[in-house]
Structure 1
């Protein structure tokens, strides 16, 4: 049986948790009671909306004193998704090496988007981001070079203010933006990484395959790895990445957190605490 331990956590509403280990299962070698940790919960482990949860050792990392439980709890799903989209799907090197890339990030003020902006700027990039009007200055503060209000004609068309074509677009918006809107804004070999692929995504991929298009639409499904989660935690510790917290809710009011999440207009992450 895989070793598990049940920590006591402040949590985000889904499968992201951070807190303190209170007990370890047989075979657990890297953690002991009292350790501060961040963990990603699989569906087999149940959700994080509980005072105590059971987590897998292989998807748990140490949380240093410089990283609060609330900061850590925002990282597993959103942070890992942003990291995977940029480094694996887009091939971006976050040490600043490599050829300069123009990157578009949609829904940049959301959970994945606000991490994606910060991570992209660690690389050799020019970042254009979309968000609502009220979050434009916020996204600029995260490092975006250009920000588009998605409700304006220019924003809806994804036109870069400087006229740049995008080498990569990380599509974080839940509401669909058609491939026909992305395509004219991409460079000759540009690609769109869709983190929430739907039927229209597969239809566009089929069309691109039939027409031998060099421009690509790439569906992405996050695969959690402890080394990547540890990397994100270290970036937070070093002050190179931050979890922006939209709001905090007590566990007894978890339904309020869910309602705010479903509304789709949170800035950063929504945190649930015991």
Structure 2
């Protein structure tokens, strides 16, 4: 911090993908009221990061250009703003950034979206958790009603794209809820998904492009949908009479479809997920990792100087687990 500058990666307009990411030096931000400044050790990329670059949240996000993207970070607090009571300089933390800023050497986070990182949880493991882990957690608990302590009734759960960022967590958390888990993924990742606890694993590459039917003939009470381009008809045929499909990457069409099914009073539901950075949920996940009850799967690590490679890999859509960037 000697010269008050840091390395960062940013873009200055919508569109352009990895080619429009620029390496710059900018002023290190300062922690304002109820904020902490974190020296980053690791950050992870989520599909929503590059979808924002494509304009999916236009004109609301980014709030201004140029924009440093990314939300999931782990590191050490080097400055605390006025009013901060939960943390001090030197604390190791994991955080969700509200306005981006992860692809940099330093970032500012709200105290309310920051949790402690115990020594048993590495920076890469912690950075791999927030958005993907929260999406899986909130899909299963808040929208599907599962109890992760295993005290609820056993249900049949299908997880699509189970080797991806959200899917890997959904499989593991569903098993904590004592669910019977069927999962879809590519052939090369089937053993990995089994190792995460899936009871049945299906290769998604079939002649019709959709493999959802359980080999044991089970109908699903819950489908955690982390893939793309699967028609409602394929889900509906494999759901129980009151089954729920939680779409973890909803677009406009998903929201409209969910509304239409509500209007029709269907007992089978399509529910869009809008992930919320709830501190208590993130702290719960971090402690599961500490207890080795949850394992973040990391696809690859890239230096900040090669952030565009990580960005392009995420856009490609075939990562196994999470893609990390390290300053």
Please report the TM-score for the alignment, with normalisation by the length of structure 1: 0.96
Q: Distance in 1 between matches of 2:176 and 2:254?
A: 29
* Contact kept in structure 2, 1:22 and 1:34, CA below 8 Å: yes
What does residue range 5-154 of structure 1 map to in structure 2 within 5 Å?
5-9=36-40, 10-13=42-45, 14-43=70-99, 46-153=100-207
Residue 203 of structure 1, CA deviation: 4.1
Cα offset, 1:211, TM superposition? 3.3
Distance 1:251 1:157 in 2: 38
Residues 143 and 155 of structure 1: CA distance in aligned 2, closer, same or farther (over 3 Å): farther
Partner of 2:290: 237
- For the aligned residues, what is the CA RMSD? 1.4
Displacement of 1:154: 8.2
Distance 1:210 1:248 in 2: 45
Q: What is the SS of the residue equivalent to 2:79?
A: coil
Structure 2: how far apart are the matches of 1:7 and 1:100?
42
d(CA) in 1 for partners of 2:175 and 2:94? 24
CA distance in 2, matches of 1:85, 1:95: 16
The 5 Å alignment of 1:210-229 reads 210-229=263-282
Instruction: State the alpha-carbon separation in 1 of the partners of residues 197 and 324 from structure 2.
Output: 24
Residue 232 of structure 2: which of 147, 164, 179 is its match?
179
Matched positions, count:
271
Q: Give structure 1 stretches of 5+ with no counterpart.
A: none
- 1:4 maps to which residue? 35
Deviations 1:163-183 (A, max 9, x none): 00000000011x221111100
- Report if aligned partners of 1:179, 1:204 keep a CA contact under 8 Å in 2: no
Q: Distance in 2 between matches of 1:118 and 1:47?
A: 29
Question: Contact 1:111/1:267 (CA < 8 Å) preserved in 2?
Answer: yes
Q: Is the 8 A contact 1:190 1:214 kept in 2?
A: yes
Runs of 4+ with deviation above 2 angstroms = 202-212
Cα pair 1:115 1:243 within 8 Å, conserved: yes
**1:172-212 C-alpha deviation (Å, 9 max, x unpaired):** 11x22111110010001001001111233234324423433
CA distance in structure 2 between the partners assigned to 1:271 and 1:73 by the alignment: 8
CA contact (8 A) 1:149 1:155 kept: no
Kept in 2: contact 1:130–1:155 (CA 8 A): no
Moved more, 207-216 or 251-260: 207-216
Q: Could you tell me how far 1:27 is from its partner in structure 2?
A: 1.1
Ranges in structure 2 where 5+ consecutive residues have no aligned partner? 1-31, 46-69
In structure 1, distance between residues paired with 2:215 and 2:302: 38
Question: Displacement of 1:155 after TM fit?
Answer: 7.1
Q: In structure 2, what is the Cα distance between the partners aligned to 1:195 and 1:52?
A: 29
Q: Note if contact 2:246-2:273 (Cα within 8 Å) is conserved in structure 1.
A: yes
Question: 1: distance between equivalents of 2:219 and 2:209?
Answer: 14
